[in-house]
Amino acid sequence: MILKTHCKNFTNNQLIIANNLLNKQPLLIQNQWIEIAASGKFEPDKAILACKNWPKIIDDPFFRPKKIVDTFNNLTPSISTLKKYQSEMIAALILCKIIKDTAAFFNVGGSINDTQVKQTAVLIIDTYHFLNITDFILCFKMAKTGKFGKLYDRLDGTIILSWLNEYNELRLQEAQIHSEKKSAKEKEKSLKIDSAIYQALKKCIETEDKPAAEDIKPQRRMTNQEFEEKRINDLNSLKCMYKKEDYKEVEKKTLLNKNK
């Protein structure tokens, strides 16, 4: 297997899939993958994701994200991933398709031409390489529904880039909220685990401290001699706590308690 010597951390299944995909790639891409593997930066899951037939997948009418948080699941490759494991041309072709499909939706006089589409795709690759395919699908869907304002008989690269700029601002805000919620959930989970551990340890300690039933013995009644010895010992202890002139008073109280 071509990648075996370079990819030590692959599972057997990942290695088989990655090599099968590699063998289907043009020689230029094969060499590209081997170089990435040799540098220790080959990620099989991302490579597999980048090799899917995305032009066909995005044609599916059911492939339509509904909210920005849907783009955080890493189910589609970013532009960077497409460039790394395929080529910039593949990334550009996918973007061109999305742009053309969007342009066909609008009925405007000044529609974007093929040259503008290609130039816009290149600018998007340079500026928004961190966004994934789902991001672009959602951004253009939002534009179609008027989220970024109305079109006035014109659609060009400048307008499309302005859509992406607005979308990216919304995405950053949503990412912050998502991160805070995730952090709060993890903290709550951690507190619950700590509480459960505490309760378990407390119960364990209480069980260990509690004498077994067979260890509990009935108290034996003291004899008069034992009682007197205890009284004298208690009195001596009390003498250490009171002033010298109070000894007789303490002794009187002790005798009274004995006679009761």
DSSP state of 137: H
Burial class (CB in 10 A: 0-12, 13-18, 19+), 24: exposed
Same domain, 42 and 93: no
Q: Look up residue 214 and give its amino acid.
A: E
pLDDT in tens, 101-149: 999 998 887 788 999 999 999 999 999 999 999 999 999 999 999 999 8
As beta bridge partners, residue 132 has 78
What total of structural domains would you count in the chain?
2
Same domain, 27 and 118: no
* Cα 61 to Cα 45: distance, rounded to the nearest angstrom: 25
**244 part of a folded domain:** no
pLDDT per residue as tens digits for the range 45-98: 888 899 899 988 998 888 888 999 999 988 999 999 999 999 999 999 999 999
Tokens of 186: 């993890």
What the block records as the tokens of 49 is 């994701």
Burial class (CB in 10 A: 0-12, 13-18, 19+), 172: exposed
Residue for token pair 């407390």: 202
E strands of 84-230, at which residues?
Answer: none
Residue 102: closest CA among 91, 111, 92, 89: 111
One domain, residues 40 and 142: no
Share of residues in the chain with pLDDT > 90 (%):
38
Contacts of 69 by beta carbon, 8 Å cutoff, 6+ apart: 174, 178
pLDDT greater at residue 172 or residue 196: 172
Residues 6+ apart with CB under 8 A from 29: 22, 85, 86, 87
Task: Note the pLDDT of residue 217.
Answer: 58
What domain range includes position 170?
52-209
Q: 169 and 121 in one domain? A: yes
Neighbours of 260 (CB within 10 A): 5
Q: How confident is the model at residue 1 (pLDDT cuts 50, 70, 90)?
A: very low
Helix 12-24 × helix 27-38 angle, to 10°: 150
- Do 146 and 20 share a structural domain? no
* pLDDT at residue number 82: 95
Same domain assignment for residues 82 and 38: no
Residues 160 and 157: their CA atoms lie apart, in Å, by 5
Which of 2-11, 54-63, 69-78, 168-177 is predicted least confidently? 2-11
Q: Domain boundary residue among 33, 50, 67?
A: 50
Look up the pTM and report it: 0.67
User: Poorest-confidence range of 8-17, 129-138, 153-162, 222-231?
Assistant: 8-17
**pLDDT score, position 8:** 54
Report CA 115 to chain centroid distance, whole Å: 41
Sequence-ordered list of residues with C-beta below 8 angstroms from that of 205, at least 6 positions apart, any chain? none
As a dihedral over the C-alpha atoms of residue 85, residue 88, residue 90, residue 91, rounded to 10 degrees, the angle is 100
- Which tokens sit at 13? 């299944």
